[in-house]
Structure 1
Amino acid sequence: MDDVVLRPVAGVVARDADGRVLLVRRRDDGTWGLPGGGVEAGETWARAAVRECREESGWEVRVDGLLGVYSDPATQVHRYPDGARRHVVGVVVTAVALRRVGAPDDEVTEVGFFAPDRLPSPLFAPDAPVLADVVSGRPPPHLR
């Protein structure tokens, strides 16, 4: 795994008033996933999750808990369309979707809310275990 770069990321499972989960469709590969991205120096996990959600989806959210920490190389090493390989170490928070405050950035082609039992496909591979925990009903936090 010499060519793999470790990347700390924050993700967010934001729900609307109907309990649906906010997902974004990635421009690079067309998969659906959770809003999220890299944690910047001087930033907390929660702040990064809120910032990334706003940038990628245009939605403002309020963090209300921790869903889990995801780092298993079996599911969290991903090869991107440009060939780069990243081992994502993600802290995923839960949040309430408050209001749409803008448009998604250019990394995203679509934004939508989906019932947990009716998620779109294909899913972004590193988010699959996160969303499996969401639909499992098992109480957080999850450590994978």
Structure 2
Amino acid sequence: MTFRLAAYAVCIDAGRVLLVHHRATGHWTLPGGGVEHGEDPIETPVRELLEETGYRGAVERLLGVDSRIIPGAERLQPGPEHQNVGIYYRVSITGGDLRAEPDPEIVAAAWVPVDDVANLRRSSLVAIGLGLNEHTPADGHVAPVPIGGLVEH
């Protein structure tokens, strides 16, 4: 089994959520990514937000933590099972200009009306982040998100 610790920025403004579109998977997801060696996880979503969208941000609060096991056959490149532990933060935009990452990994960044998210091909990370933002459970954990249709790992 492989393992990844990641942190994600949930940015909400005027009924819209900030999403990024990945080239490799073809789906929309939250700005965020792997916690680098020696990096405090609270710094990760702010760093990734700047890299992927051009926006500077500030963490407002911890929303919760999610742990998912992705079966090997369902991975983008089949392999061993993969555990992703995601830390979700509510992040406010403090400056910068919206743009896609200059790296070819992110092909677009956009503010999407929350009501329109259900119509997008998207990562389950989006549902997790929006769910934590809306309900903020006391234990910081959401129920599993069903995979299928427009929702992917």
Q: What range is the shorter-chain TM-score in?
A: 0.7 to 0.9
CA distance in 2, matches of 1:45, 1:38: 9
Among all aligned residue pairs of Structure 1 and Structure 2, give the percentage whose two residues are the same amino acid.
32
Q: Which runs of 4+ in 1 moved over 4 A?
A: none
Quote the residue 1:68 is aligned against: 64
Q: How has the CA–CA distance of structure 1 residues 62 and 140 changed in structure 2, closer, same or farther, with 3 Å as cutoff?
A: farther
3-state SS of 1:143 partner: coil
3-state SS of 2:104 partner: coil
CA distance in 2, matches of 1:23, 1:117: 13
Quote the residue 2:114 is aligned against: 116
In 2, are the aligned partners of 1:9 and 1:89 still within 8 Å (CA)?
yes
In 1, are the aligned partners of 2:33 and 2:48 still within 8 Å (CA)?
yes
CA distance in 1, matches of 2:104, 2:83: 23
Quote the residue 2:17 is aligned against: 21
CA distance in 2, matches of 1:112, 1:73: 28
CA distance in 1, matches of 2:43, 2:33: 11
TM-score (norm 2): 0.76
Q: How has the CA–CA distance of structure 1 residues 73 and 40 changed in structure 2, closer, same or farther, with 3 Å as cutoff?
A: same
Q: How has the CA–CA distance of structure 1 residues 43 and 139 changed in structure 2, closer, same or farther, with 3 Å as cutoff?
A: same
In 2, are the aligned partners of 1:78 and 1:87 still within 8 Å (CA)?
no
In 2, are the aligned partners of 1:14 and 1:22 still within 8 Å (CA)?
yes
User: How far off is 1:113 after superposition?
Assistant: 0.7
Quote the residue 2:55 is aligned against: 59
In 2, are the aligned partners of 1:22 and 1:112 still within 8 Å (CA)?
yes
Quote the residue 2:145 is aligned against: none
In 1, are the aligned partners of 2:70 and 2:83 still within 8 Å (CA)?
no
Q: What is the identity, as a one-letter code, of the residue corresponding to 1:45?
A: P
CA distance in 1, matches of 2:136, 2:127: 17
Q: What is the identity, as a one-letter code, of the residue corresponding to 2:135?
A: R
Count of aligned pairs: 136
Q: How has the CA–CA distance of structure 1 residues 50 and 118 changed in structure 2, closer, same or farther, with 3 Å as cutoff?
A: same
Quote the residue 1:143 is aligned against: 141
Q: How has the CA–CA distance of structure 1 residues 45 and 32 changed in structure 2, closer, same or farther, with 3 Å as cutoff?
A: same
User: How far off is 1:56 after superposition?
Assistant: 1.4
TM-score (norm 1): 0.80
Q: How has the CA–CA distance of structure 1 residues 26 and 114 changed in structure 2, closer, same or farther, with 3 Å as cutoff?
A: same
Quote the residue 2:7 is aligned against: 10
Q: Larger deviation: 84-93 or 123-132? A: 123-132
Q: CA RMSD in A?
A: 2.5
Quote the residue 1:32 is aligned against: 28
Q: Larger deviation: 21-30 or 93-102? A: 93-102
